[in-house]
Amino acid sequence: MPNIEMIEGADDAAIATWFAARLRAALATCPDIAVTVPGGSTPFPIFDRLAQEDLPWPRIAVWPGDDRIVAEDHPASNVGKIRARLEPVGAKIVPLAQDAVPPRFAIAWLGMGRDGHVASLFPNTDPQVDDALAVRRLTPYPLPPEAPFDRLSLTIPSLLDSAEIMFVIRGADKRAVFDSAVCGDHDLPVARLLRAASAKVTCFC
């Protein structure tokens, strides 16, 4: 299990400031960096704050950790919403594709569902820490009613190929699932990822 730092009570502005600081630290040692970020409802207000940060955005490639297989202009598209917020400030947005070759990420920013899924690695997809594929096409079960679509998702090895990992967890029910994963009390996807992680993990909760 990696070193996990829990930061409680941080609001969207504080998380955006922290993330921007980590980007600056990574950019101080590399001419260009890549990060992966989540979809869902939680990150987009943080992206809005992040877009106001004075960063050399053209040096930053942003990959969604997962996406619904829909057109970019569909309301369910993660990459479309990421592009709308971060491309205007100069970030390079990289849509997922099954044959994509992800880079080593400076930061892998993850969310987590109540069922312990990360990216679109739902429990029914049985994600493996030694998956030979970098990106998988998956069908969650049950299909979430708000987004009943097949998905593309980075696999656990792709997400772990990162200098550091961060989570943003909102709600007592999700916090309980995450804490149980840290304690090794279940084998949900988040627990598999954390067991295999070697990079530092920061969790905002």
CATH code (residue 17): 3.40.50.1360
| Number of domains present in the structure of the chain | 1
- Give the number of other Cβ atoms within 10 Å of residue 41's Cβ: 9
CB of 167 closer than 8 Å to CB of 110:
yes
* pLDDT of the residue at 1: 66
pTM listed for this prediction:
0.95
Q: What does the block give as tokens for 104?
A: 């080593």
CA distance linking residue 59 with residue 56, whole number of Å: 6
- In the chain, count of helices (H) and strands (E)? 6, 10
As a whole number of angstroms, the distance between CA 19 and CA 191 comes to 23
The pair of structure tokens assigned to 69 is 């297989």
Mutual angle of helices 78-86 and 43-50, in 10-degree steps: 20
Helix axes 12-27, 43-50, angle to 10 degrees: 60
Q: 127 and 138 in contact (C-beta within 8 Å)?
A: no
* Per-residue pLDDT in tens (0 to 9) along the chain, 205 residues: 678 999 999 999 999 999 999 999 999 999 999 999 999 889 999 999 999 999 999 999 999 999 999 999 999 999 999 999 999 999 999 999 999 999 999 999 999 999 999 999 999 999 999 999 999 999 988 888 888 999 999 999 999 999 999 999 999 999 999 999 999 899 999 999 999 999 999 999 9
Measured distance between the N- and C-terminal CA atoms of the chain, rounded to whole angstroms: 19
- Residue 172 lies in domain: 4-204
Find, among 39, 44, 83, 76, the residue nearest to 62 by Cα. Answer: 83
